[in-house]
Structure 1
Amino acid sequence: MSVNTNARASRLSAAKQSLHAGVALSMGLLAAPLHSQTADGAAGSDLQTENVRLRRELDELRRQLASAQGAHPAAAHPPVAAPENLNNAAADAPAPATGVANADEDEVKVVGRIVGAALRDLKDNPKPVSVVTQAELKIFDQVTLPDVLSRLGNVRFNDGNPRTGSFSMRGLTAGAGTDTIDPSIGLTVDGVPYAYLAMAVGTDLVDIEQVNVTRGPQGTTGARHTSVGQINVTTRRPSFTPDASASLTLGSNNALRAEVEGGGPIIDGKLAFRITATRDQRDGDYWNKYPDLRGLQSHGNIDRTYGRVQLLFTPTEDFRVRVLYDHQPNGDEYVNGLAFNKPTPDFYANGAPVDKTNDVIAKLSRRWFTQQSAYTANDYYKYPVYLDSNRAITTGGKGGLVDASWDIGDQTLSVLSSARKHYFLAANDDGTPFDISRNGGFISTYWQFTNEAKLTGELGDGLVNYTAGLFYLKAHTNSLNRSRQGNDSGAYNANVAEYAALDANSSGRELLTNSLARVYRGDQSYVRSESKSAFAQADWHLTHTLTLTTGGRISREARRLSESISILDNGYGSSLNPVNVGAVQLGGFNSTAFTAANAGTLVAGQSAAQLSLADAVAQQYFNVAATGTPGGAYNSLTAAQRRQVAAAKAIRLRTFSTLFSETAAKPWIGNIYTGQLSVRNDFSQNLTSYATVQYGEKPGIAQFNGLVPGTSGAPRNLPAKKERTISYEVGVRTNWLGGDLVLNANVFRSYIKDFQQTVYFLDDLLTALNNDGTLYYSSGVGNVGKVRTQGLETDLVYSGLRYTTFRFSGAYTDAKYLDFAFSGQPSENANLTQRFRDVSGFTLPNAPKLQFNVTGDYRRPIFENYLFHTSAGYTYTSRENGDTALSAYGFRKPYGIADASIGFGRRDGLFDVNLVVRNLFDEDRGDPGWNTYTVYQRRRWIGAVVSSKFR
């Protein structure tokens, strides 16, 4: 396979430099006065081994040419960064004792050279791309995807559990917490797209080459189409050069993380392997204070185990097969439950007083709850975590891939097939030590299969480099969103009048308990996704310096949903069921609501079974004897007693809410288009500029929302339209001072039409039910008319100072709604009749104007064979609003997270110890809300990392 001339020259130059360093190494060993002839012979042998290694890895590099979109190893573009073991071969080689000019300085520029090479290798890619390497991440012992993204400008993870957390890029936040919305920001691992982003959030990124982020719509070189951008993770592959490394992290919060990886040849030149394993455990900063669980549940903890095994088979020089399998057993992490409570404000935004007669404190002040003297309403604010039945978030998964490629002259045919499975379970508490609710949340299983066939190569003796292929994805998501009510649920969920009626005597209190006790409600959904795509991209080398890139993709997408909402367990009070909810028959009897004129009497025309059920209620709760006439016992109840029954039935009906039997939603089936047009010019070896237009689309949504008006009780279809993005980029890439200064920068502007987000829309059912001449609205996922984001992004590395490297990655972003007339009202406007407002011109949520990360790394040889190193990093985020409704209470202050490390080790890497302090100044950048404050889970942490590597 051939590549662009400049790219080939760059890689061959890197290989030559590594070989020259190897020659210098052997000469230094020969010149050392204390070395014997045996040592000289060994040095020569080492040099030959090193040269063989370099040749093999140069060959492997040629096979691994891939686009910055994260496509698998046979793409037309050069890789985002050459493998670390090639670009840094001289640094990895054993250091000579004497005789090599500038050897000390070269060796301690390892991090700077790796990062600089990663950025320089973006020269031929006419897209805005940022890169973070494994070498950088090890400085501060960063292994999670949120930590990795903090090192890159204009992309990040917004805190939450693996399901509710979300990714933001350029101020645009991908929808979280729903199975029906496709992610706007894609994620690939070794070229395999993860169509369900939760698969990666709860997994440590270990034994990786790098993580890069490509901004703007993607998909013309393979993998899965995305409309906003893509995160690409590349792991270390098997090699025929033996190597191994291990590390042990010990630190505060009982932290213990062990990591091992290594591999080498099984059959020289034919079969190689690599294994990776890690165990990561750490307590959180916030402990559950509930007496029975003290010392057992810490929130913000880590519990992760992971293993990966790979085989590389190369029966001929032209044919390669890589097989990978990885497994993450289920682990339990307490992520939810850290939304600390604070008093509700006294006034709404318009000055109207807030009615607190039915708020949490008022409810916890009821006689029912004050019987427990060990916990009072005031403790609701005093104890941040005081939960009786909270359980951890459980996640796990496994999967594998087969990646085969075949060189046919100047062309390469490759096939990448993968299957993955993921499990998620949430079991939430109500935030109190009372038995109000138990084990609420989702249980989800996700499965996907992908297959990609691709042909890459060149035509016209290097005139055109191309990529063309086919992609297929099939995914299933099965989710149960459940809620189980406890024995105190009725007393908590009753309104003021209902509670007063029921807590008056023993019969009422039994009704109050049984109104909801043990009720189990479940929303079961089955989401089926299928994608069939064809894509192609070509680099047209119009002149020696000018390249035109054209690319396109068409995808046939299908999104199907079947859903039901049902009562899985009626609990203790089945006799209090309503007759029906919508079309779902629940077998209850029908009585009127209690009013002064209509005192909860039985509705006429009911069956004998219904009247008998009403009599059973009278007998059970009020000890009324049967009269022999159906309904007679119930009709003999006093008005006060019927009022109590009506109150219990009202609590139950309100909690049942919307119910319907399994129904298939109207599917969304349509075509999705992606395109790219770029021009790139190499003004010199040190200066390249590009201009790019990218277009992408995101599939629409099949979904239900509420019920349709009328007697059918059917769920209401509420499909959302597809989302469309067009992005304009102009960028420059520079390389000065012999590679010591690398600067990549770009300006961008993107327009998104029909942006998918929660909106308010006309609710025909509520309007018909109220029938008072007012139009009623309810919330759901829909389309925002138009959004625009624009700004500047830059990456800079400077390693011109001896022993020192500086890295800067940052962005200025202005993301606004241009047309959004139906945004939900924020909490401070909850008293308004109109349930929506126009926020056109407002800045989007989770869209700070300024984000950047700056890191300094100092590495200096000492005592001839040892190395001292220290680093400092700072990540800054300006003021932003973290509330999706843009509440005035949702603004997060500007904040910065500082990290530092200092360490000492052998220059050959056989031993190193690194003291790391994360969040040095213990910044608490929590998320404020109307009456909550969600704390920052990554508080200051101090630990030591002991590591070793050898070859």
Structure 2
Amino acid sequence: MRPLTSTCLLALLAGFASGAPAQETSATDGGTAGLDAIAVEGTAESESEPAPRQADSGPATGLAEVIVTARRREEGALQVPVSMAVVSGDDLAEAGLFRPQDIQQRTPGMTVSVASPRLTQYTIRGLGSTSQNDGMESSVGLFLDGVYLGRQGLSMFDLVDLDRVEVLRGPQGTLFGKNTTAGALNIATKLPSQTYEASIEGSLGDQDFRQARGSVTGPLVDGVLAGRLTGYVTQKQGQYTNRYDGSDLNEQNRYGVRGQLLWTPIDSLSARLIAEYGKQDETCCVYPLIVYRDAVRARDEFMEYERASLNPYDRQADADTRTHSEVEQKAVSVELNWDYAEAQRLTSITAYRHWTAKPTSDDATSLELIPETGIANDHRQFSQELRINIDDERYNATAGLFYLYQDLTGDERNILGKDIGGWTFGGIIRQALPFATVSNFGPVLYALIPPATLDGMRIDTDTYQKSHSAAAFGSVDWHLSEQFDLTTGLRYTHEWKDAGVLRTRTGGCPNCSVLAATNVLTPLGDLLGIDLRGATFDGLLDGVAGGDYERYTKRDEGNFSGQTALSYKPNDDTNAYVSIALGYKGGGINLGATGDSVPPTFKPEKALSYEIGLKNRWLANRLRTALAIYQTDVDDYQALTFDDEQTLIPNPRQINLLNVGKVRLRGAEAEAQGIAAPGLLLRASAAYNDAVTLDFPNAPDVETRQNTRDLSGETLYNAPRWTVSTGAEYSLRLREAFELYSGLDYYYRSGAWATVEHGEGSYIDAYDIVNARLGLRDAQRRWDVSAFVRNVFDERYLAAIYALYGVGDYGGTAGDERSYGMTLRFNFD
């Protein structure tokens, strides 16, 4: 299915609706929420809908106002000189979009790749950073209820009971600040309320899909203390079949709970306490080999091993050991808002988060090559933000201080099996002697290197990083006249990082090989002053699995970021703006073993962006449009390269970091949403992005495994040129007591490279997805029953590609196939 098909579908739906009975709609007045009413971060006091939806009753006037906190205060989205996409939590829930990677279907310009919770990657306008190396932080700033999330994996929870999601495109270097060279994702949950409300919903579907979600809120002490409790459970059978034992892999099994207290003892003071717990305990995550080099093929052929299908859409894996992912997250935050003077507010956000990820997998075969592998992470962070907001007739000002402490440890383990010697060295033999196999040549090989030599050998790589980040920032929106506003903002950030890498090789039976006799050359060479380790069996093992390695590195640096924007508002329904923004992401430390061509540290990433935008409301706010044109120049973009140690078992594979000299992003974003007919709401948005690596002479080379390939002038990876999202919602009132509603959503993404080196087989082809739903509810929305179909046309597409054994060997995860089910909701008040 392609964009033309989507246009036809929406046209048919619009034509059907044009003759339907009218449904009345209402609008919320625009404007900015002032400081006279206390509201905590991320939620409008007016409780207006944060995304364009139609209300149940009232005069047919227009769309609800979109309230955002993109400038750390509540205001209408039209007032903000930033290109953004905003989706309400209710819209996400009704569309059945509950995972963070689902957000991209409503926010063109952003892509989310999730091979596993730990290997999560966000990009905006083609700019983003992988989580493969723990030393690299995201280029997209992630925020939950005003709290910065230090790792991309911390965002991997179900989206439930949300107020809205804001995607801010381009550098947000002043108020969000840390690591927002690409943009920011700002998630806001719903507030506790002094009015009793409760909701519960359950969903059942094919593939054994089961989900329960609910929330309850209300007063604990009238007028003073309110609470809110939210929970969810999601389960779904795995979409991959393990050829080895017939089990299902890549299942979903997660649950979470969030509790809140909102204390408002006086009109000028509020305190919000949030405590969260979430856990994923899943048979996950495999991304089987889909493309591999001749060297790996020769190894398989020597062992007389035939892999599971290389076609990712056959959804086959072959694993003879446990595949498992356990992720746990605990968090608590306190937000205080105090109106200490007229139109002046002090805000404090204090937060602590603890995230652990414990993945276990094998070598993607039923051979005993590496029966157990995985990188376990333990991440703890503490953050404190203190800021003041001042509203004046002449200006709006924000100033503040920010501090973040992160303590991250990593434990990579690779336990070798009895077949690794035959597979590794047999492959070399097979390339020289095409007839050689384990049957006819194995006895000779195993006489030299018996299977027991490497069986049980363990390679542990322990890493840690402690980092401190401190920042001071300020921003002023000057009201130059009734039509012109000037925004100026500046932030200084300084970071201190202390990291260590320790790798050890233990176990196995190195002396079981007759070649171990060569180890006497090492002390002999020491006596002669010559390094002879490379000629010994220990040296050979270093070249197979990696030897002992130890490094401790410190780094500290600081830099400025900021923004200047000029807005022209000839009337209440128009905002034309031009802006210049400077983004900064600190440099870091490679948390992996590095060789000669990859330094232990990498430079900071800097982005300079120019943007021109126009936002409008039309036809008494029955139509809203937005257009932005931009160019962003990035210096020293942080990207992955491979471990340049020439090991035969390249692990940790493509994991080290380098800086791409210059990257240019150039494109446009357009959005429109409106009431096309009574009861019919249409939306359409598209993003075009031309992302190019202008200066990249040191790119990884698939053939030589050296940083010698010149990709200057080539397309940046993970940067689709086109992303499109369209949709229609139609509702029909039946005898004043019931409401029939339907929805149709369409998402298109053009093709893009999935890895920095553009290796053959690492390209994700264009794809599009159609989701549909049909439901019935009572007029007061006390109950709701609906049916859904996701990926209606069963589109085949790749959700993620990663280097598996080394550069040129790629594993891929197929995207969700067609699914269907039903949802039942109840609302109480």
Would the TM-score normalized by the shorter structure come out above 0.5? yes
Moved more, 748-757 or 134-143: 134-143
Equivalent pair of 1:222/1:471 in contact (CA under 8 Å): no
Moved more, 874-883 or 251-260: 874-883
Q: Which residue of 2 aligns with 1:309?
A: 259
C-alpha distance after superposition, 1:521-563 (max 9, x if no partner): 1111101111111111111111122111111110111122111
Equivalent pair of 1:706/1:716 in contact (CA under 8 Å): no
Q: Structure 2: how far apart are the matches of 1:253 and 1:61? A: 51
Decide whether aligned partners of structure 1 residues 853 and 359 sit closer, same or farther in structure 2, where only a CA change above 3 A counts: same
Segments of 5+ residues of structure 2 without an aligned counterpart are 1-23, 431-435, 528-534, 647-653
Equivalent pair of 2:724/2:747 in contact (CA under 8 Å): yes
User: Does residue 253 of structure 2 align to residue 298 of structure 1?
Assistant: no
Equivalent pair of 1:917/1:941 in contact (CA under 8 Å): yes
User: Does residue 727 of structure 2 align to residue 849 of structure 1?
Assistant: no
1:439 Cα deviation from its structure 2 partner: 1.9
User: Does residue 397 of structure 2 align to residue 515 of structure 1?
Assistant: no
Q: Which residue of 2 aligns with 1:922?
A: 794
- State how 1:200-599 maps to structure 2 within 5 Å: 200-201=155-156, 203-222=157-176, 224-291=178-245, 294-295=246-247, 297-299=248-250, 301-336=251-286, 338-341=287-290, 356=294, 358-360=295-297, 362-366=298-302, 369=303, 376-377=305-306, 384-409=316-341, 410-459=343-392, 462-495=393-426, 505=443, 508=446, 511-567=449-505, 569-573=506-510, 590-591=519-520
Q: Which residue of 2 aligns with 1:899?
A: 771
Q: What residue identity is the alignment partner of 2:662?
A: K
1:887 Cα deviation from its structure 2 partner: 2.9
Q: What residue identity is the alignment partner of 1:485?
A: L
1:574 Cα deviation from its structure 2 partner: 5.6
C-alpha distance after superposition, 1:46-81 (max 9, x if no partner): xxxxxxxx9xx989994338xxxxxx35xxxxx799
1:604 Cα deviation from its structure 2 partner: 5.1
Decide whether aligned partners of structure 1 residues 688 and 80 sit closer, same or farther in structure 2, where only a CA change above 3 A counts: farther
Which one of 742, 751, 755 corresponds to residue 633 of structure 2?
Answer: 751
1:125 Cα deviation from its structure 2 partner: 1.0
1:878 Cα deviation from its structure 2 partner: 1.5
1:948 Cα deviation from its structure 2 partner: 1.2
Q: Structure 2: how far apart are the matches of 1:664 and 1:684? A: 59
Moved more, 232-241 or 750-759: 750-759
1:682 Cα deviation from its structure 2 partner: 1.0
Q: Structure 2: how far apart are the matches of 1:494 and 1:422? A: 40
Which one of 661, 668, 671 corresponds to residue 795 of structure 1?
Answer: 671
1:498 Cα deviation from its structure 2 partner: 6.8
Decide whether aligned partners of structure 1 residues 86 and 758 sit closer, same or farther in structure 2, where only a CA change above 3 A counts: closer
User: Does residue 618 of structure 2 align to residue 664 of structure 1?
Assistant: no
Q: Structure 2: how far apart are the matches of 1:152 and 1:825? A: 34
Q: What residue identity is the alignment partner of 1:801?
A: A
Which one of 790, 810, 821 corresponds to residue 943 of structure 1?
Answer: 821
- RMSD over aligned CA atoms reads 3.4
Q: Which residue of 2 aligns with 1:722?
A: 604
Q: Which residue of 2 aligns with 1:881?
A: 753
Q: Structure 2: how far apart are the matches of 1:796 and 1:559? A: 44
Decide whether aligned partners of structure 1 residues 88 and 589 sit closer, same or farther in structure 2, where only a CA change above 3 A counts: closer
1:818 Cα deviation from its structure 2 partner: 1.0
C-alpha distance after superposition, 1:682-722 (max 9, x if no partner): 1112211111110111111123775678xxxxx98532111
Q: Structure 2: how far apart are the matches of 1:277 and 1:187? A: 22
Q: Structure 1: how far apart are the matches of 2:195 and 2:35? A: 12
Equivalent pair of 1:755/1:784 in contact (CA under 8 Å): yes
Richer in helix (by share): 1
Q: What residue identity is the alignment partner of 1:388?
A: D
What's the secondary structure of 2:93's corresponding residue?
helix
1:732 Cα deviation from its structure 2 partner: 0.7
Q: Structure 2: how far apart are the matches of 1:406 and 1:89? A: 32
Q: Which residue of 1 aligns with 2:650?
A: none
Moved more, 526-535 or 833-842: 833-842
Q: Structure 2: how far apart are the matches of 1:931 and 1:566? A: 26
Q: What residue identity is the alignment partner of 1:206?
A: V
What's the secondary structure of 1:526's corresponding residue?
strand
Q: What residue identity is the alignment partner of 2:86?
A: V
Decide whether aligned partners of structure 1 residues 549 and 115 sit closer, same or farther in structure 2, where only a CA change above 3 A counts: closer
Equivalent pair of 1:116/1:797 in contact (CA under 8 Å): no
Q: Structure 2: how far apart are the matches of 1:174 and 1:237? A: 32
Equivalent pair of 2:37/2:45 in contact (CA under 8 Å): no
Equivalent pair of 1:913/1:944 in contact (CA under 8 Å): yes
Decide whether aligned partners of structure 1 residues 407 and 379 sit closer, same or farther in structure 2, where only a CA change above 3 A counts: closer
C-alpha distance after superposition, 1:648-692 (max 9, x if no partner): 76763323324224x311x22111211111111211122111111
Give identity over the alignment, percent.
23
1:932 Cα deviation from its structure 2 partner: 5.1
C-alpha distance after superposition, 1:726-776 (max 9, x if no partner): 111111110011111000111111000111123589x8x99xxxxxxxxxx
1:863 Cα deviation from its structure 2 partner: 2.6
Q: Structure 2: how far apart are the matches of 1:811 and 1:887? A: 26
Decide whether aligned partners of structure 1 residues 784 and 59 sit closer, same or farther in structure 2, where only a CA change above 3 A counts: closer
- State how 1:834-873 maps to structure 2 within 5 Å: 836-873=708-745
Q: Structure 2: how far apart are the matches of 1:379 and 1:413? A: 60
Alignment size in residue pairs? 766
Q: What residue identity is the alignment partner of 1:325?
A: A
Equivalent pair of 2:748/2:769 in contact (CA under 8 Å): yes
Which one of 63, 67, 72 corresponds to residue 38 of structure 2?
Answer: 63
TM-score by length of 1: 0.75
Larger Rg, first or second structure (1 or 2):
1
Segments of 5+ residues of structure 1 without an aligned counterpart are 1-23, 26-53, 66-71, 74-78, 96-101, 345-355, 371-375, 580-587, 593-601, 608-645, 710-714, 767-777
Q: Structure 1: how far apart are the matches of 2:242 and 2:682? A: 42
Which one of 58, 70, 81 corresponds to residue 126 of structure 1?
Answer: 81
Equivalent pair of 1:700/1:720 in contact (CA under 8 Å): yes
Q: Which residue of 1 aligns with 2:21?
A: none
Q: Which residue of 2 aligns with 1:655?
A: 544
Equivalent pair of 1:578/1:653 in contact (CA under 8 Å): no
Q: Structure 1: how far apart are the matches of 2:812 and 2:819? A: 19
Equivalent pair of 2:448/2:515 in contact (CA under 8 Å): no
Higher RCO by CA contacts (8 Å cutoff, separation 6 or greater): 2
Decide whether aligned partners of structure 1 residues 62 and 87 sit closer, same or farther in structure 2, where only a CA change above 3 A counts: farther
Decide whether aligned partners of structure 1 residues 551 and 435 sit closer, same or farther in structure 2, where only a CA change above 3 A counts: same
Q: Structure 1: how far apart are the matches of 2:53 and 2:103? A: 25
C-alpha distance after superposition, 1:275-299 (max 9, x if no partner): 00000001122221322xx34x332
Q: What residue identity is the alignment partner of 1:468?
A: A
Decide whether aligned partners of structure 1 residues 87 and 566 sit closer, same or farther in structure 2, where only a CA change above 3 A counts: closer
Equivalent pair of 2:39/2:45 in contact (CA under 8 Å): no
Q: What residue identity is the alignment partner of 1:516?
A: L
Decide whether aligned partners of structure 1 residues 115 and 876 sit closer, same or farther in structure 2, where only a CA change above 3 A counts: farther
Equivalent pair of 2:408/2:465 in contact (CA under 8 Å): yes
Q: Which residue of 2 aligns with 1:373?
A: none
Decide whether aligned partners of structure 1 residues 510 and 130 sit closer, same or farther in structure 2, where only a CA change above 3 A counts: same
User: Does residue 567 of structure 2 align to residue 680 of structure 1?
Assistant: yes
Equivalent pair of 1:192/1:223 in contact (CA under 8 Å): no
What's the secondary structure of 1:684's corresponding residue?
coil
Q: Structure 2: how far apart are the matches of 1:923 and 1:414? A: 47
1:577 Cα deviation from its structure 2 partner: 11
Q: What residue identity is the alignment partner of 2:487?
A: T
Equivalent pair of 1:219/1:535 in contact (CA under 8 Å): no
Decide whether aligned partners of structure 1 residues 159 and 485 sit closer, same or farther in structure 2, where only a CA change above 3 A counts: same
Q: What residue identity is the alignment partner of 1:332?
A: E
Q: Structure 2: how far apart are the matches of 1:89 and 1:793? A: 21
Equivalent pair of 1:576/1:652 in contact (CA under 8 Å): no
Q: What residue identity is the alignment partner of 2:263?
A: F
